[in-house]
Amino acid sequence: MKKLTQREKLLIYILGCFLIGLFGIYFVILPSYRSYQVVSDQAAEAQFTQESMTMAIDGIPSTMQARDEATTNLAILEAPFPQKLTNEGLDILLTQLCLDYSLSPKVLSITSNGMAGVATFTAYTTDEQPSAAVGTGSTPTTSTTNNTNTTGTTPTANSAASPDTTSSTETAETTAPTGSAEAIIGVVNMELTGTQANFYRLLDAVAVRPDMIISAFSITPAAATTTGSTASSSTSGSGSAAKLDGGNITINLTFTVYMMEK
């Protein structure tokens, strides 16, 4: 057997060291480094969680205060709105409101009472037509209030009168856009009699209430009726036509009442 030379022994020694180092890197150092990375990530996550919990604990008093303030504000906002009313409740509410202003209810019909989309304001531009006609001189005209677009009407004399009268104000159909807020809404049509001054007092009272609006109305002399979109006034024995500014008037109006669950 040939004896290994010093140079061959050195090469074998270097090769052995290389193999030992290679096995150490792949089977010891790399697995240990991966384990270190996992533990380091877990430690960083745990530290972040601890800091978040510490901040949350420190912020509990301010969070509780904000919750109490929000609860108080919600109660204040809910206060003007009535609890969900039945049809009978709507009848009592609006009848008493009209009686408070010396207006006598004659007819009341509830169109709807349930969840519906809340109508929103539409920006006015110059290319749009006004929602109601503006009266000039002594010709009486009626318009609508609040946020529902309606058409105003002008009473005309010598028109055919009918016992079954219909409102002369045509209310535009309001459709809530997709995703709009919904609320419990009651829509009530009423026919009242009383003086024009008391009706204006009712308009002013409803205008400042957040829980209801008068979405449409029309007024005619008490002795007159409305047919289609015109109001007909009967004449007296002396041949003079009835006037809106004298005596009682007949009012056809639509209330929209907003309610909520409490």
Stronger pLDDT, 253 or 161, i.e. the higher one: 253
Judge if 48 and 96 occupy the same domain.
no
Q: Which of 58, 73, 97 is the last residue of a domain?
A: 58
Instruction: Look at strands 248-259 and 212-221 and give their pairing.
Output: antiparallel
For tokens 């108080």, the residue is: 72
The pLDDT tens digits for 178-236 are 446 788 899 999 999 999 999 999 999 999 998 899 999 998 886 544 443 333 333 33
| CA pair distance 194, 190, nearest whole angstrom | 13
Judge if 35 and 112 occupy the same domain.
no
Q: Number of C-alpha atoms within 13 angstroms, CB side, residue 246?
A: 8
**Mean pLDDT over each residue of the chain, to the nearest integer:** 75
| CA pair distance 206, 217, nearest whole angstrom | 13
Judge if 19 and 148 occupy the same domain.
no
Judge if 127 and 251 occupy the same domain.
yes
Question: Is 76 a member of any domain?
Answer: no
pLDDT number for residue 244: 58
Q: Which of 18, 40, 58 is the last residue of a domain?
A: 58
Q: Number of C-alpha atoms within 13 angstroms, CB side, residue 181?
A: 8
Question: Is 214 a member of any domain?
Answer: yes
Question: Is 43 a member of any domain?
Answer: yes
Question: Is 64 a member of any domain?
Answer: no
pLDDT number for residue 207: 92
pLDDT number for residue 147: 39
Question: Is 67 a member of any domain?
Answer: no
Question: Is 27 a member of any domain?
Answer: yes
Q: Is 102 a residue whose pLDDT tops 80?
A: yes
Judge if 41 and 170 occupy the same domain.
no
Judge if 47 and 117 occupy the same domain.
no
| CA pair distance 169, 150, nearest whole angstrom | 7
Q: Which of 58, 79, 95 is the last residue of a domain?
A: 58
Judge if 136 and 222 occupy the same domain.
yes
Judge if 21 and 107 occupy the same domain.
no
Judge if 168 and 255 occupy the same domain.
yes
Q: Is 245 a residue whose pLDDT tops 80?
A: no
| CA pair distance 221, 249, nearest whole angstrom | 4
Question: Is 156 a member of any domain?
Answer: yes
pTM (2 d.p.):
0.49
**Within a 10 A sphere around the Cβ of 52, how many other Cβ atoms?**
10
User: One-letter amino acid identity for 193?
Assistant: T
| CA pair distance 56, 135, nearest whole angstrom | 64
Rounded average pLDDT over 65-82: 88
Judge if 110 and 240 occupy the same domain.
yes
Question: Is 223 a member of any domain?
Answer: yes
Domain enclosing residue 219, as ranges: 87-259
pLDDT number for residue 139: 40
Question: Structural domain tally of the chain?
Answer: 2
User: One-letter amino acid identity for 211?
Assistant: D
Judge if 47 and 121 occupy the same domain.
no
pLDDT number for residue 180: 62
Judge if 119 and 201 occupy the same domain.
yes
- Domain CATH for 245: 3.30.70.60
| Dihedral, 147, 151, 156, 162 alpha carbons, nearest 10 | -90
